[in-house]
Amino acid sequence: MTVRIGVIGAGWIGQDHIRRLTHVITGAEVTAVTDLDAAHAAEVATGVGARALPTGQDVIAAPDVDAVLVTSWGPTHAEYVLATIAAGKPVFCEKPLATSAEDCLRIVEAETAYGRRLVQVGFMRRYDAGYRAMKQVIDAGEIGVPLMVHCAHRNPTVPASYTSAMAAQDTAVHEIDVLRWLLDDEIVSVQVVTPRRTSKRLEHLQDPQIMLFETANGVRIDLEVFVNCQYGYDIQCETVGESGLVRLPDPASPSVRSAGRADTAVVQDWRERFPAAFDAEFQEWTASVAAATAPTGPSAWDGYAAIGDATVQALESGRIVGVAMKDRPAFYAGGTAGGTAR
Ligand SMILES: NC(=O)c1ccc[n+]([C@@H]2O[C@H](COP(=O)([O-])OP(=O)(O)OC[C@H]3O[C@@H](n4cnc5c(N)ncnc54)[C@H](O)[C@@H]3O)[C@@H](O)[C@H]2O)c1
Protein backbone atom coordinates (compact mmCIF):
# COMPACT_ATOMS: atom_id res chain seq x y z
CA MET A 1 0.00 0.00 0.00
CA THR A 2 1.22 3.49 -0.81
CA VAL A 3 0.48 5.87 2.03
CA ARG A 4 -1.07 9.11 0.77
CA ILE A 5 0.19 12.03 2.82
CA GLY A 6 -1.13 15.56 3.21
CA VAL A 7 1.34 18.24 4.30
CA ILE A 8 0.45 21.34 6.34
CA GLY A 9 3.24 23.92 6.02
CA ALA A 10 5.60 23.97 3.04
CA GLY A 11 8.51 25.88 4.55
CA TRP A 12 12.08 24.65 5.05
CA ILE A 13 11.38 21.37 6.71
CA GLY A 14 8.03 20.80 4.99
CA GLN A 15 9.75 20.93 1.61
CA ASP A 16 12.62 18.75 2.81
CA HIS A 17 10.18 16.11 4.07
CA ILE A 18 8.15 16.32 0.84
CA ARG A 19 11.37 15.62 -1.09
CA ARG A 20 12.16 12.75 1.28
CA LEU A 21 8.67 11.23 1.04
CA THR A 22 8.68 11.55 -2.76
CA HIS A 23 12.24 10.63 -3.72
CA VAL A 24 14.01 8.93 -0.82
CA ILE A 25 11.79 6.57 1.11
CA THR A 26 9.48 3.90 -0.25
CA GLY A 27 5.74 3.47 0.19
CA ALA A 28 4.71 7.12 0.46
CA GLU A 29 3.20 9.70 -1.86
CA VAL A 30 2.39 13.35 -1.13
CA THR A 31 -1.13 14.02 -2.40
CA ALA A 32 -2.01 17.38 -0.80
CA VAL A 33 -0.12 20.44 0.38
CA THR A 34 -1.24 23.62 2.08
CA ASP A 35 0.55 26.74 3.25
CA LEU A 36 -0.47 30.21 4.40
CA ASP A 37 1.19 31.33 1.18
CA ALA A 38 -1.20 29.75 -1.34
CA ALA A 39 0.98 30.46 -4.36
CA HIS A 40 3.93 28.79 -2.67
CA ALA A 41 1.78 25.78 -1.73
CA ALA A 42 0.67 25.49 -5.38
CA GLU A 43 4.25 25.60 -6.60
CA VAL A 44 5.44 22.96 -4.12
CA ALA A 45 2.40 20.73 -4.77
CA THR A 46 2.82 20.93 -8.54
CA GLY A 47 6.45 19.88 -8.18
CA VAL A 48 5.39 16.50 -6.80
CA GLY A 49 2.08 16.02 -8.63
CA ALA A 50 -0.01 16.85 -5.55
CA ARG A 51 -3.02 19.14 -5.05
CA ALA A 52 -2.75 22.45 -3.23
CA LEU A 53 -5.60 22.90 -0.75
CA PRO A 54 -6.67 26.16 0.92
CA THR A 55 -6.32 25.19 4.60
CA GLY A 56 -4.94 22.63 7.01
CA GLN A 57 -8.49 21.51 7.81
CA ASP A 58 -9.04 20.78 4.10
CA VAL A 59 -5.90 18.63 4.05
CA ILE A 60 -6.99 16.67 7.13
CA ALA A 61 -10.47 16.04 5.66
CA ALA A 62 -9.30 15.16 2.13
CA PRO A 63 -10.37 11.64 1.11
CA ASP A 64 -7.07 11.07 -0.71
CA VAL A 65 -5.07 11.81 2.48
CA ASP A 66 -4.41 8.74 4.65
CA ALA A 67 -2.03 10.49 7.06
CA VAL A 68 -1.06 14.07 7.86
CA LEU A 69 2.35 15.71 8.22
CA VAL A 70 2.36 18.93 10.28
CA THR A 71 5.31 21.17 9.45
CA SER A 72 3.77 24.59 10.06
CA TRP A 73 4.92 26.97 12.82
CA GLY A 74 5.02 25.55 16.35
CA PRO A 75 2.05 27.51 17.79
CA THR A 76 -0.24 26.03 15.09
CA HIS A 77 0.70 22.39 15.72
CA ALA A 78 -1.80 21.59 18.50
CA GLU A 79 -4.81 22.67 16.44
CA TYR A 80 -3.86 20.44 13.50
CA VAL A 81 -2.82 17.45 15.58
CA LEU A 82 -6.11 17.58 17.51
CA ALA A 83 -8.12 17.87 14.29
CA THR A 84 -6.27 14.92 12.74
CA ILE A 85 -6.94 12.77 15.81
CA ALA A 86 -10.62 13.78 15.60
CA ALA A 87 -10.59 12.59 11.96
CA GLY A 88 -9.06 9.25 13.09
CA LYS A 89 -5.98 9.63 10.88
CA PRO A 90 -2.31 9.15 11.79
CA VAL A 91 -0.35 12.38 12.18
CA PHE A 92 3.37 13.07 12.16
CA CYS A 93 4.03 16.40 13.88
CA GLU A 94 7.37 18.13 13.63
CA LYS A 95 8.68 19.26 16.98
CA PRO A 96 7.46 20.82 19.14
CA LEU A 97 4.21 18.88 19.58
CA ALA A 98 2.77 22.13 20.94
CA THR A 99 4.21 25.22 22.55
CA SER A 100 2.69 24.67 26.03
CA ALA A 101 2.38 21.69 28.33
CA GLU A 102 -1.36 22.38 28.51
CA ASP A 103 -1.76 21.93 24.75
CA CYS A 104 0.44 18.82 24.77
CA LEU A 105 -1.80 17.34 27.46
CA ARG A 106 -4.91 18.10 25.41
CA ILE A 107 -3.36 16.04 22.62
CA VAL A 108 -2.42 13.22 25.01
CA GLU A 109 -5.99 13.18 26.36
CA ALA A 110 -7.56 13.25 22.88
CA GLU A 111 -5.38 10.39 21.68
CA THR A 112 -6.01 8.36 24.82
CA ALA A 113 -9.75 8.90 24.43
CA TYR A 114 -9.52 7.83 20.78
CA GLY A 115 -7.99 4.61 22.09
CA ARG A 116 -5.22 4.05 19.57
CA ARG A 117 -1.86 5.76 19.01
CA LEU A 118 -2.06 8.11 16.05
CA VAL A 119 0.63 10.69 16.87
CA GLN A 120 4.37 10.62 16.24
CA VAL A 121 6.58 13.61 17.09
CA GLY A 122 9.60 14.56 14.97
CA PHE A 123 12.37 13.93 17.47
CA MET A 124 14.64 12.43 14.82
CA ARG A 125 17.76 12.22 16.96
CA ARG A 126 16.55 8.87 18.29
CA TYR A 127 17.18 7.58 14.75
CA ASP A 128 20.69 9.06 14.45
CA ALA A 129 23.48 6.46 14.25
CA GLY A 130 25.71 8.43 16.66
CA TYR A 131 23.06 8.77 19.37
CA ARG A 132 22.07 5.12 18.90
CA ALA A 133 25.70 4.07 19.36
CA MET A 134 25.90 6.21 22.52
CA LYS A 135 22.78 4.57 23.87
CA GLN A 136 24.22 1.12 23.23
CA VAL A 137 27.38 2.04 25.15
CA ILE A 138 25.37 3.39 28.09
CA ASP A 139 22.90 0.49 28.13
CA ALA A 140 25.74 -2.06 27.97
CA GLY A 141 27.25 -0.51 31.12
CA GLU A 142 30.51 0.34 29.34
CA ILE A 143 30.90 3.70 31.12
CA GLY A 144 29.26 2.60 34.36
CA VAL A 145 26.35 4.48 35.87
CA PRO A 146 25.86 7.87 34.10
CA LEU A 147 26.59 10.83 36.38
CA MET A 148 26.79 13.92 34.18
CA VAL A 149 25.97 14.98 30.62
CA HIS A 150 27.51 17.98 28.85
CA CYS A 151 25.63 19.18 25.77
CA ALA A 152 25.68 22.04 23.30
CA HIS A 153 23.09 23.00 20.70
CA ARG A 154 24.43 25.73 18.45
CA ASN A 155 22.86 27.24 15.34
CA PRO A 156 24.61 29.78 13.08
CA THR A 157 21.71 32.22 13.36
CA VAL A 158 17.93 32.41 13.83
CA PRO A 159 15.25 34.67 12.31
CA ALA A 160 14.04 37.80 14.12
CA SER A 161 10.82 36.00 15.09
CA TYR A 162 12.81 33.71 17.44
CA THR A 163 12.20 34.57 21.12
CA SER A 164 14.19 33.79 24.27
CA ALA A 165 11.47 31.29 25.30
CA MET A 166 11.99 29.39 22.06
CA ALA A 167 15.42 28.33 23.26
CA ALA A 168 13.44 25.96 25.51
CA GLN A 169 10.26 25.45 23.48
CA ASP A 170 11.80 24.99 20.06
CA THR A 171 15.49 24.19 20.49
CA ALA A 172 16.18 22.39 23.79
CA VAL A 173 13.19 20.07 23.22
CA HIS A 174 15.54 17.96 21.08
CA GLU A 175 18.03 17.51 23.92
CA ILE A 176 15.36 16.92 26.55
CA ASP A 177 13.81 14.20 24.42
CA VAL A 178 17.04 12.49 23.45
CA LEU A 179 18.40 12.64 27.02
CA ARG A 180 15.22 11.10 28.51
CA TRP A 181 15.67 8.33 25.96
CA LEU A 182 19.45 7.95 26.35
CA LEU A 183 19.36 7.86 30.15
CA ASP A 184 15.96 6.23 30.59
CA ASP A 185 15.34 8.92 33.19
CA GLU A 186 13.06 11.94 33.71
CA ILE A 187 14.03 15.56 34.26
CA VAL A 188 12.86 16.81 37.65
CA SER A 189 14.25 20.35 37.88
CA VAL A 190 15.79 23.05 35.73
CA GLN A 191 17.71 26.27 36.18
CA VAL A 192 18.74 28.66 33.40
CA VAL A 193 21.96 30.66 33.71
CA THR A 194 22.36 33.61 31.38
CA PRO A 195 25.88 34.48 30.21
CA ARG A 196 26.85 37.74 28.59
CA ARG A 197 24.69 38.15 25.47
CA THR A 198 26.21 37.87 22.06
CA SER A 199 26.36 41.23 20.30
CA LYS A 200 26.03 39.51 16.95
CA ARG A 201 22.27 39.50 16.66
CA LEU A 202 18.78 40.41 17.89
CA GLU A 203 18.44 42.93 20.75
CA HIS A 204 15.44 41.16 22.31
CA LEU A 205 17.12 37.79 22.63
CA GLN A 206 18.88 36.19 25.62
CA ASP A 207 21.46 34.23 23.69
CA PRO A 208 23.28 32.09 24.74
CA GLN A 209 21.54 30.31 27.61
CA ILE A 210 22.93 27.58 29.83
CA MET A 211 20.26 25.16 31.00
CA LEU A 212 21.04 23.01 34.03
CA PHE A 213 18.81 19.96 34.41
CA GLU A 214 18.62 17.39 37.19
CA THR A 215 17.09 13.97 36.58
CA ALA A 216 15.12 11.71 38.91
CA ASN A 217 18.25 9.54 39.26
CA GLY A 218 20.40 12.56 40.16
CA VAL A 219 22.20 12.94 36.83
CA ARG A 220 23.24 16.55 36.19
CA ILE A 221 22.98 17.87 32.64
CA ASP A 222 24.36 21.15 31.37
CA LEU A 223 23.10 22.31 27.98
CA GLU A 224 24.43 25.35 26.18
CA VAL A 225 21.86 26.72 23.73
CA PHE A 226 23.55 29.28 21.49
CA VAL A 227 21.47 30.03 18.42
CA ASN A 228 23.57 32.79 16.89
CA CYS A 229 26.99 31.19 17.19
CA GLN A 230 27.77 32.23 13.60
CA TYR A 231 30.08 29.37 12.70
CA GLY A 232 27.76 26.41 12.09
CA TYR A 233 25.16 23.94 13.31
CA ASP A 234 27.01 22.15 16.07
CA ILE A 235 25.43 19.46 18.24
CA GLN A 236 27.57 18.10 21.05
CA CYS A 237 26.82 15.55 23.73
CA GLU A 238 29.13 13.82 26.20
CA THR A 239 27.91 11.47 28.91
CA VAL A 240 30.25 10.89 31.83
CA GLY A 241 29.79 7.74 33.88
CA GLU A 242 31.44 6.17 36.90
CA SER A 243 34.09 4.43 34.84
CA GLY A 244 34.27 6.19 31.48
CA LEU A 245 32.64 8.59 29.08
CA VAL A 246 30.97 8.44 25.70
CA ARG A 247 30.91 11.32 23.27
CA LEU A 248 28.62 11.87 20.27
CA PRO A 249 30.72 11.68 17.09
CA ASP A 250 30.89 14.70 14.83
CA PRO A 251 29.43 14.06 11.38
CA ALA A 252 31.99 12.51 9.08
CA SER A 253 33.59 15.09 6.82
CA PRO A 254 36.99 14.98 5.18
CA SER A 255 39.99 16.68 6.71
CA VAL A 256 41.46 19.01 4.10
CA ARG A 257 45.08 20.16 4.19
CA SER A 258 45.70 23.17 2.00
CA ALA A 259 47.43 26.55 2.10
CA GLY A 260 49.22 25.76 5.34
CA ARG A 261 46.08 24.68 7.21
CA ALA A 262 44.32 21.43 8.15
CA ASP A 263 40.54 21.99 8.12
CA THR A 264 37.38 20.00 8.74
CA ALA A 265 34.12 21.60 7.65
CA VAL A 266 31.36 22.23 10.22
CA VAL A 267 27.85 21.53 8.89
CA GLN A 268 25.56 24.53 8.57
CA ASP A 269 22.09 23.20 9.35
CA TRP A 270 19.94 20.26 10.47
CA ARG A 271 19.50 19.02 6.90
CA GLU A 272 23.22 18.35 6.63
CA ARG A 273 23.58 17.07 10.21
CA PHE A 274 20.75 14.54 10.44
CA PRO A 275 19.72 13.44 6.90
CA ALA A 276 19.96 9.70 7.57
CA ALA A 277 18.04 10.06 10.83
CA PHE A 278 15.20 11.91 9.07
CA ASP A 279 15.12 9.25 6.33
CA ALA A 280 14.97 6.38 8.84
CA GLU A 281 12.33 8.18 10.89
CA PHE A 282 10.04 8.63 7.89
CA GLN A 283 10.63 5.15 6.49
CA GLU A 284 9.61 3.64 9.82
CA TRP A 285 6.64 5.96 10.28
CA THR A 286 5.33 5.28 6.76
CA ALA A 287 5.63 1.53 7.34
CA SER A 288 3.62 1.82 10.56
CA VAL A 289 0.89 3.80 8.79
CA ALA A 290 0.78 1.28 5.92
CA ALA A 291 0.51 -1.60 8.38
CA ALA A 292 -2.09 0.26 10.49
CA THR A 293 0.02 -0.39 13.58
CA ALA A 294 1.01 2.07 16.31
CA PRO A 295 3.83 4.40 15.32
CA THR A 296 7.16 3.21 16.71
CA GLY A 297 8.74 6.63 17.23
CA PRO A 298 8.39 9.33 19.89
CA SER A 299 4.82 9.60 21.14
CA ALA A 300 2.53 12.46 22.15
CA TRP A 301 3.62 11.66 25.72
CA ASP A 302 7.25 12.22 24.71
CA GLY A 303 6.17 15.49 23.10
CA TYR A 304 4.58 16.52 26.41
CA ALA A 305 7.60 15.40 28.47
CA ALA A 306 9.97 17.47 26.33
CA ILE A 307 8.06 20.73 26.33
CA GLY A 308 9.87 23.49 28.10
CA ASP A 309 7.33 25.29 30.35
CA ALA A 310 9.55 24.79 33.42
CA THR A 311 12.63 25.91 31.49
CA VAL A 312 10.89 29.11 30.37
CA GLN A 313 9.81 29.76 33.99
CA ALA A 314 13.40 29.14 35.11
CA LEU A 315 14.68 31.63 32.53
CA GLU A 316 12.14 34.27 33.52
CA SER A 317 12.48 33.83 37.30
CA GLY A 318 16.20 33.11 37.55
CA ARG A 319 15.29 30.30 39.99
CA ILE A 320 15.49 26.53 40.06
CA VAL A 321 12.08 25.27 38.92
CA GLY A 322 10.68 21.81 39.62
CA VAL A 323 9.25 19.95 36.62
CA ALA A 324 5.72 18.90 37.54
CA MET A 325 4.69 16.16 35.15
CA LYS A 326 1.44 14.25 35.21
CA ASP A 327 1.68 10.49 35.72
CA ARG A 328 2.16 8.71 32.43
CA PRO A 329 -1.04 6.96 31.35
CA ALA A 330 -0.71 3.18 30.87
CA PHE A 331 -1.69 3.88 27.23
CA TYR A 332 1.89 5.12 26.63
CA ALA A 333 3.67 2.27 28.41
CA GLY A 334 6.09 -0.06 26.66
CA GLY A 335 9.28 0.41 24.65
CA THR A 336 9.45 0.71 20.91
CA ALA A 337 12.01 0.67 18.12
CA GLY A 338 12.35 4.46 18.04
CA GLY A 339 13.00 3.95 21.70
CA THR A 340 9.92 5.85 22.60
CA ALA A 341 7.38 5.79 25.37
CA ARG A 342 8.59 5.37 28.88
N1 LIG B 1 13.34 18.25 13.56
C2 LIG B 1 14.11 19.29 13.32
O3 LIG B 1 15.32 19.28 13.53
C4 LIG B 1 13.49 20.55 12.78
C5 LIG B 1 14.25 21.39 11.95
C6 LIG B 1 13.66 22.54 11.45
C7 LIG B 1 12.34 22.85 11.79
N8 LIG B 1 11.64 22.04 12.62
C9 LIG B 1 10.27 22.40 13.04
O10 LIG B 1 9.43 22.39 11.88
C11 LIG B 1 8.46 23.44 11.98
C12 LIG B 1 8.59 24.33 10.73
O13 LIG B 1 9.88 24.88 10.69
P14 LIG B 1 10.49 25.52 9.35
O15 LIG B 1 11.92 25.79 9.64
O16 LIG B 1 10.11 24.73 8.18
O17 LIG B 1 9.70 26.92 9.33
P18 LIG B 1 9.32 27.79 8.05
O19 LIG B 1 8.93 29.13 8.57
O20 LIG B 1 10.39 27.69 7.01
O21 LIG B 1 8.05 27.03 7.47
C22 LIG B 1 6.80 26.99 8.08
C23 LIG B 1 5.77 27.09 6.97
O24 LIG B 1 4.47 26.85 7.56
C25 LIG B 1 3.58 27.77 6.99
N26 LIG B 1 2.49 27.92 7.94
C27 LIG B 1 2.54 28.49 9.17
N28 LIG B 1 1.34 28.42 9.75
C29 LIG B 1 0.51 27.79 8.88
C30 LIG B 1 -0.84 27.39 8.91
N31 LIG B 1 -1.62 27.68 9.95
N32 LIG B 1 -1.35 26.72 7.84
C33 LIG B 1 -0.56 26.44 6.77
N34 LIG B 1 0.73 26.79 6.68
C35 LIG B 1 1.26 27.46 7.73
C36 LIG B 1 4.38 29.04 6.75
O37 LIG B 1 3.78 29.87 5.77
C38 LIG B 1 5.72 28.47 6.30
O39 LIG B 1 5.79 28.30 4.90
C40 LIG B 1 8.75 24.16 13.29
O41 LIG B 1 7.91 23.64 14.29
C42 LIG B 1 10.19 23.80 13.59
O43 LIG B 1 10.51 23.80 14.98
C44 LIG B 1 12.18 20.87 13.09
**With helix as H, strand as E and coil as C, how does the chain read?**
CCEEEEEECCCHHHHHHHHHHHHHCCCEEEEEEECCCHHHHHHHHHHCCCEECCCHHHHHHCCCCCEEEECCCHHHHHHHHHHHHHCCCCEEECCCCCCCHHHHHHHHHHHHHHCCCCEEECCHHHHCHHHHHHHHHHHCCCCCCEEEEEEEEECCCCCCCCCCCHHHHHHHHHHHHHHHHHHCCCEEEEEEECCCCCCCCCCCCCCCEEEEEEECCCCEEEEEEECCCCCCCEEEEEEEECCCEEECCCCCCCEEEECCEEEECCCCCHHHHCHHHHHHHHHHHHHHHHCCCCCCCCCHHHHHHHCCHHHHHHHHHCCCEECCCCCCCHHHCCCCCCCCCC
Residues carrying CATH 3.40.50.720, the chain: 3-125+276-301+328-332
* CB contact set of 207 (below 8 Å; sequence gap of 6+): 164, 167, 197, 198, 201, 225, 226, 227, 228
Distance from the CA of 98 to the center of ligand 1, in angstroms?
A: 12
- The pLDDT profile of the chain, 342 residues, written as one tens digit per residue, is 899 999 999 999 999 999 999 999 999 999 999 999 999 999 999 999 999 999 999 999 999 999 999 999 999 999 999 999 999 999 999 999 999 999 999 999 999 999 999 999 999 999 999 999 999 999 999 999 999 999 999 999 999 999 999 999 999 999 999 999 999 999 999 999 999 999 997 889 999 999 999 999 999 999 999 999 999 999 999 999 999 999 999 998 899 999 999 999 999 999 999 999 999 999 999 999 999 999 999 999 999 999 879 999 999 999 999 998 999 999 998 643 344 433
Residues carrying CATH 3.30.360.10, the chain: 129-269+306-322
Give me the architecture of the 3-125+276-301+328-332 domain, per CATH: 3-Layer(aba) Sandwich (3.40)
Integer Cα distance of 342 and 334 in angstroms? 6
* Ligand 1 near 64 CB (within 6 A): no
| The pLDDT of residue 342 | 33
> Which residue minimizes the CA distance to atom 7 of ligand 1?
13
Is residue 174 a contact partner of residue 302, using CB atoms and an 8 Å limit? no
Q: Is the dihedral of CA 146, 219, 178, 114 positive or negative?
A: positive
CATH, domain 129-269+306-322, list 3.20.20.70, 3.30.360.10, 3.40.640.10, 3.40.50.2000: 3.30.360.10
Distance from the CA of 9 to the center of ligand 1, in angstroms?
A: 6
* Ligand 1 near 8 CB (within 6 A): yes
* Ligand 1 near 266 CB (within 6 A): no
| The pLDDT of residue 334 | 63
* Ligand 1 near 171 CB (within 6 A): no
Q: Indicate yes or no: pTM above 0.85.
A: yes
HEC assignment per residue over 251-283: CCCCEEEECCEEEECCCCCHHHHCHHHHHHHHH
Distance from the CA of 14 to the center of ligand 1, in angstroms?
A: 7
Task: For the beta carbon of residue 257, count every other beta carbon within 10 angstroms.
Answer: 9
Distance from the CA of 75 to the center of ligand 1, in angstroms?
A: 10
Is residue 124 a contact partner of residue 278, using CB atoms and an 8 Å limit? yes
Integer Cα distance of 235 and 301 in angstroms? 24
| The pLDDT of residue 337 | 37
Helices 129-139 and 173-183: crossing angle, nearest 10°? 30
Distance from the CA of 10 to the center of ligand 1, in angstroms?
A: 7
Is residue 107 a contact partner of residue 201, using CB atoms and an 8 Å limit? no
At 94, the amino acid letter reads E
> Which residue minimizes the CA distance to atom 19 of ligand 1?
11
* Ligand 1 near 12 CB (within 6 A): yes
Q: Report residue 42 CA to chain centroid gap.
A: 27
Compute the half-sphere exposure of residue 111: CA atoms within 13 Å on the CB side of its CA: 30
- Pairing type for strands 51-52 and 67-70 reads unpaired
